[in-house]
Amino acid sequence: MKKERIAAFIAAASTVLSLGVPCAAEADVKVAIAAPVTGPNASFGVQFREGAEAAAAAINQNGGLLGQKVSLVFEDDASDPKQGVSVANRIAADGIQFVIGHFNSGVSIPASNVYQDNGILEISPSSTAPVYTDRGMWNTFRVCGRDDKLGLVTADYILHHFQGKPIALVDDKTPPGAGLVAVVKGALAKAGVKPVTEQSINVGEKDFSALVTRLKALNVGVVVFGGVHTEGGLIARQMKEQGLNAKMIGPDGFATSEFPAIAGDAANGVLFTFGQNPVALPAATEAVKNLRAQKIEPDGYVLYVYAAMQVLAQGINQAKSTDPQKVAAVLQSGKVFQTVLGARSFDKKGDIQQNDFTTFVWQGNKYVAAQ
């Protein structure tokens, strides 16, 4: 099923999909969905497609954007910064003025420079690196939280549940991965806790036996990982295979069914910090019902993408304009937007003013709120 979902997204990439009308009209408001269609993070790209299509259908059924239909253009950035910039340039060349994406902070950051230069507004459902919105740009927004806040929640959980256990910090050298670990390290230091080791791995690496051997020799009890499921799942599996009985806690990059698929039984008990689970929220009831009717489980970032589309639609309709700068001014005004994630409002930088991070634990093939 996962392969079929990814294949469907690959088929949709770089095509225009108009929801609610037989074909895309010139008057449609085009929105680019920029995400990894291929590569190691393609499962998140599937979540982007599913959330965007469901939201666009609902928006069009409710009158569209200033009476116009929204049509989606899917672009594959493969989680690669260089390809992300190429995608951004193609979006600009096509005259598209709004982007929902990218998945990775490392892609959103360079792509947003292209968008700013071409008057394009970007709303990311998942780019958590603080620098994404800290550069004083008018066009960058996100409906998720920031790594500095995520890191504080992670550190707080460790301090309250793993007192006295030797802690290892491991990152994948990416801006969000290293940034998260740096925040956790700082928060632990304020509490007088020092990790026993700090390690880095490379994205794409497969063999972590040397890393696990070092952690085992230090009798590590907690492994904080800054990275995503591709490497995190392998580390968890190899920890179990080598008999390292340590608790692993990761970031939002573990919020995909691909994590237990990679980690196997070692996924059980693995913790990660993520935004509140919106599936149970009253605001998400109708969207969840419609998605499940299509046999789509709204896990991970599906509803975050849906919310980003809702924010964009409300911003355009309230601005009474499809001018991205006018829409950005509405978003930065402090107004509250109703989404499947609940209320969302933004500060002048484009960050949400709500803090909804919590800690989850994998139990089999699903994750639940950790106690």
The CATH number for 170's domain is 3.40.50.2300
Q: Is 70 helix (H, G, I), strand (E, B) or coil?
A: strand
Check whether residue 137 and residue 215 sit in a common domain: no
Token code pair at residue 126: 């998942």
Specify whether the CB–CB gap between 231 and 171 falls below 8 A.
no
Check whether residue 135 and residue 233 sit in a common domain: no
Tokens 């950035």 correspond to what residue? 77
Check whether residue 164 and residue 17 sit in a common domain: no
Token code pair at residue 334: 């402090």
Cα 189 to Cα 197: distance, rounded to the nearest angstrom: 14
Check whether residue 286 and residue 258 sit in a common domain: no
Where are any strands of DSSP class E within 294-365? 337-339, 342-344, 357-363
Check whether residue 176 and residue 208 sit in a common domain: yes
pLDDT digits (tens, 9 = 90+) for 26-52: 469 999 999 999 998 999 999 999 999
pLDDT digits (tens, 9 = 90+) for 271-316: 999 988 889 899 999 999 999 999 999 988 999 999 999 999 999 9
- Is residue 124 very low, low, confident or very high in pLDDT (cuts 50, 70, 90)? very high
Tokens 């509140």 correspond to what residue? 276
The rounded mean pLDDT for the chain is: 93
Measuring CA to CA, how many Å separate 194 from each of 13, 59, 168, 312, 361? 46, 50, 9, 43, 24
Q: Is 361 helix (H, G, I), strand (E, B) or coil?
A: strand
pLDDT digits (tens, 9 = 90+) for 209-261: 999 999 999 999 999 999 999 999 999 999 999 999 999 999 989 988 999 99
Tokens 């106690």 correspond to what residue? 371
- Distance between alpha carbon 364 and the CA centroid of its chain, in Å? 22
Check whether residue 28 and residue 130 sit in a common domain: yes
Check whether residue 125 and residue 268 sit in a common domain: no
Check whether residue 82 and residue 125 sit in a common domain: yes
Measuring CA to CA, how many Å separate 349 from each of 92, 266, 331? 22, 39, 10
Cα 79 to Cα 43: distance, rounded to the nearest angstrom: 11
* 161 CB-contact burial (10 Å; exposed 0-12 / middle 13-18 / buried 19+): middle
Check whether residue 63 and residue 12 sit in a common domain: yes
Cα 293 to Cα 274: distance, rounded to the nearest angstrom: 25
- In the chain, % of residues over pLDDT 90: 84
- Domain of residue 56: give its range: 2-145+279-355
Check whether residue 240 and residue 345 sit in a common domain: no
Given a cut of 90, whether residue 5 has pLDDT beyond it is: no
Where are any strands of DSSP class E within 151-255? 167-171, 197-200, 222-226, 247-250
Given a cut of 80, whether residue 15 has pLDDT beyond it is: no
> What are phi and psi for residue 11, nearest 5 degrees?
-65, -30
Q: What is the pLDDT of residue 352?
A: 97
Check whether residue 124 and residue 216 sit in a common domain: no
Check whether residue 308 and residue 257 sit in a common domain: no
Domain count, the chain: 2
